[in-house]
Structure 1
Amino acid sequence: MTTSLPVIAVTITPIAFPDPPLLNSAGVHQPWALRAIVQVHCGDELVGLGETYGDAPHLALLGRAAGALAGLDVFDLAGLRSRIAAAVGVVDAPDRHGLTGGSSAEKTLARIVSPFEVALLDLQGQVTERPVHALLGGKVRETVPFSAYLFYKWAGHPGAEPDEYGEALDPAGIVAQARRMIDRYGFRSIKLKGGVFPPEQEINAIRALRVAFPDMPLRLDPNCAWTVDTSVKVAEETAGLLEYLEDPTAGLAGMAEVAALAPMPLATNMCVVRFADLPESVARGSVGIVLADHHYWGGLTASAHLATICRTWGLGLSMHSNSHLGISLAAMTHLAAATPNLTYAVDTHMPWQLGVDVVAEPLHFIDGSVTVPDAPGLGVSLDQDALARLHENYLTCGIRERDDTAYMRLFEPGYTKRRPRW
């Protein structure tokens, strides 16, 4: 006889935490990053955790979804998706920054399902006394390597004191930033967020990083800031320097043109962002590496399905990151631990959060990697005091939706988001 373990209640808490002025092709990060923490409650005082975006339109959709989950068996992931789809309906909710590719109703639904699915897997693990990676097929690695994620940045937000990373607006600043991050966390690969300055300047930064770190894999991601012709020129000038070039230009057709001529593989988190994108991408040869992100692919099991498809077609696999905290880091670590063909170091923004977190005992980077937790579920628990503080930040920060372009215009009134810009 099977016993159901029903969802009793769902709590969604919007939070905000300090974010540095990190530059990208859309503008610059605002002083506060927004997230939402999902708690799914069931019997025996068990609580499953999820983490997701905190923008107001997304929060509204999360609320509609949460209202439909009472009584759902925590093992019924198919029921989770169908209930949320019925509650939310057909909605296309694009983000303002556009750094994760185009929007669609399919992608919007996946983004809503994700934090609840992670929370249910956390509960399943607690009930069965198994870590989440065991529920995803089993652990294939003991540690998960992450990459140093570098950004051009101002010393601090205008009018505020400089942050501890300081200014990085030229190759010397980028190299100094890399040294600081690598000395602290031990990363063994490096990614530079480009699309900020003319390509020649960013190529010079890559060359400076190669001199400073001769043995480390390097990546460059301009978030579709370049034309096809510019992308090809950059690819030619960085031959032998880059592990991969990420999203140099927009669209599957444009990426295919570049991929046909580039000496290194192209990666993406912007042109392959849903399952419907995969057939055309494979047919065109648009990308060699997909950067999965469980936050908008529909959760951990959907991301595992994506990994299988990538393996079938010989595509490489890594993970994309946005500003996030420890629940997301734990989810990413479990997924990476159970994904055999995830062979590239994973992106993470955690070093930019400077220790701010909502979990009681955060996972740590040792030699650039995170040891895979073997405790039941995700292996992390909420720090309720920290959650309350970060929720208070949300209430008082005045930001309700991420908009890198609007924030940049406060300091450069004529600034426009243009893709391509060069």
Structure 2
Amino acid sequence: MKITDIEVIPIFPRLASRYAERRVDLYGIDCRVVYKVHTDAGITGYGDMRVRPYAKPSRDAVAQFVGLSPFDFINDHRSAVPSGLLCALYDAMGKHLDLPVHKLLGQKKRNAIAVAAWTRPASPEIFRDEIKRAAAEGYRVFKIHTCTYHDVFEQTRLATEVAPESFRIHYDFNHNRSLGSALPIIAELERNFPIVGYIEDPFDKSDIDGWKRLRQQTSLPLIMHGTPLGGVQELIYGLADMYMIGGTLEDTMAAGWACGRANVQVLLQFEGGTLGKAMAMHMASVLPTHTAHSINLDDQYAEDYTTETIPVVDGASPVPNGPGLGFAVDEDALARLASQSLVERPTHVGVLQMPGGNTYYGPSYISPTNITGHQEGVDRGFRSSIWEDDGSAEFAKVHDRVKKEGVFRAD
């Protein structure tokens, strides 16, 4: 079986209806690209991935792979192969052999994979609603990045009000702090909020001492996103309790097997729709210690181009058993999503209200760290929001001043 053509199809699926008032926050999440691999055996493989709005994936970039066999990409190590294309190649291989993709990766260890809901950084009130939504949809873990312009303690307090007892938050700390600022924040979260279950990337990965010292002082599992030292060295140093593995397929699986030998949990994060999540389910099913959750973006969309989506029941999704990735494609739906356009950001300004009573305006979200000089998470009691153009003279006045001055404090 040889590859005869690779189509590269940008698509723009509509986001979930709950995001209608969050167009600034979710900008670009509706930008994905589908790879459609044609073969001389009459088999077509599909895969997709999220891309940045400014990215321009082209057919020319993958033309070099035409004429090769999809089987040339087993456990591939080439960084030039986009993850969405690799999904499509495995989809074609599995269909050709009438086998699910996990049969091409190893021995399946489990039939279902724990999965996490996700959203972009959100105000405490919106985060509370997201937790309630996710729990109702069957999720038991929610991943979100903390950020400089929302108060993580207020987010957590409101989430606790609506979450089931077994629900857990996975906070990504953005690898931008020192031990002196991260430790008291994590200690307070651990002490007062049992809903906090995981802390990802509290420090830069080069801060080996910070990782080791924090791990000695908290019982919350620490997650390191990526293994820049190759995987084994991180295990030797004992830097984290869990590792979010990625990179090329070869690197991902090698790190997963190494962690399995060391009895250390791993987790995957795949940014795509139904087919991207399907690939993650196949990979996670064969990794010995992928008993943590997988993070995917399929819950962000109101529509997809597969005829079915992947359910979430009791916090987990089943590993597909059909040939290839396990899902059929609706070509009409694919064409419709390809005909749609990226939802642009609305005209807006950012508003920051500090606890002392001062109000600031800026081109978009304003971080209190830019006002106080503190590291993320130290400031408390502030409110940061987006003011979309409402047609008022007041908005026009503020927007015009922001364009001229940048961030300013209200008179």
Q: TM-score scaled to structure 1, two decimals?
A: 0.73
Identify the residue that residue 180 of structure 2 maps to in structure 1.
229
Identify the residue that residue 251 of structure 1 maps to in structure 2.
205
Identity within the alignment, %: 20
Give the superposition deviation at 1:80. 6.6
Secondary structure of the residue that 2:9 maps to in structure 1? strand
Identify the residue that residue 28 of structure 1 maps to in structure 2.
25
Q: Residues 327-406 of structure 1 correspond to what in structure 2 (within 5 A)?
A: 327-354=275-302, 356-394=303-341, 397=343
Conserved? CA contact 2:199–2:222, under 8 Å = yes
Deviations 1:276-302 (A, max 9, x none): 453553354332211234xxx123x54
Give the superposition deviation at 1:415. 4.9
Identify the residue that residue 179 of structure 1 maps to in structure 2.
132
Q: Residues 116-127 of structure 1 correspond to what in structure 2 (within 5 A)?
A: 116-127=85-96
* Pairing partner for 1:287 from 240, 247, 270: 240
Verify: 1:194 aligned to 2:146, yes or no. Answer: yes
Q: Which has the higher contact order (CA 8 A, sep 6+)?
A: 1
Verify: 1:412 aligned to 2:362, yes or no. Answer: yes
* CA distance in structure 1 between the aligned counterparts of 2:111 and 2:74, rounded to whole angstroms: 30
Unpaired runs of 5+ residues, structure 2, are: 352-360, 378-411
- Runs of 4+ in structure 1 over 6 Å off: 406-411, 416-419
Verify: 1:66 aligned to 2:62, yes or no. Answer: yes
* Pairing partner for 1:311 from 260, 264, 271: 260
Secondary structure of the residue that 1:174 maps to in structure 2? helix
Verify: 1:130 aligned to 2:96, yes or no. Answer: no
Identify the residue that residue 221 of structure 2 maps to in structure 1.
265
Shift of the 407–34 alpha-carbon distance from structure 1 to 2, 3 Å rule, reads farther
Corresponding letter in the other structure for 1:306? A
Q: Residues 147-186 of structure 1 correspond to what in structure 2 (within 5 A)?
A: 147-149=116-118, 151-153=120-122, 169-170=123-124, 173-183=126-136, 185-186=137-138
Shift of the 416–68 alpha-carbon distance from structure 1 to 2, 3 Å rule, reads farther
Corresponding letter in the other structure for 1:318? L
Deviations 1:259-314 (A, max 9, x none): 34333221132xx255x453553354332211234xxx123x54222211222344
Shift of the 298–57 alpha-carbon distance from structure 1 to 2, 3 Å rule, reads farther
Identify the residue that residue 205 of structure 1 maps to in structure 2.
155
Shift of the 409–7 alpha-carbon distance from structure 1 to 2, 3 Å rule, reads farther
Give the superposition deviation at 1:30. 0.9
Identify the residue that residue 2 of structure 2 maps to in structure 1.
6
* CA distance in structure 2 between the aligned counterparts of 1:408 and 1:34, rounded to whole angstroms: 23
Give the superposition deviation at 1:74. 1.7
* CA distance in structure 1 between the aligned counterparts of 2:190 and 2:376, rounded to whole angstroms: 22
For the aligned residue pairs, the C-alpha RMSD in angstroms reads: 3.3
* CA distance in structure 1 between the aligned counterparts of 2:251 and 2:348, rounded to whole angstroms: 34
Conserved? CA contact 2:349–2:364, under 8 Å = no
Unpaired runs of 5+ residues, structure 1, are: 86-108, 154-168, 400-405
* CA distance in structure 2 between the aligned counterparts of 1:78 and 1:383, rounded to whole angstroms: 27
Conserved? CA contact 1:290–1:316, under 8 Å = yes
Corresponding letter in the other structure for 1:247? D
Normalized per residue, the structure richer in helix is 1
Conserved? CA contact 1:14–1:54, under 8 Å = no
Shift of the 259–330 alpha-carbon distance from structure 1 to 2, 3 Å rule, reads same
Q: Residues 133-148 of structure 1 correspond to what in structure 2 (within 5 A)?
A: 133-148=102-117
Give the superposition deviation at 1:407. 8.7
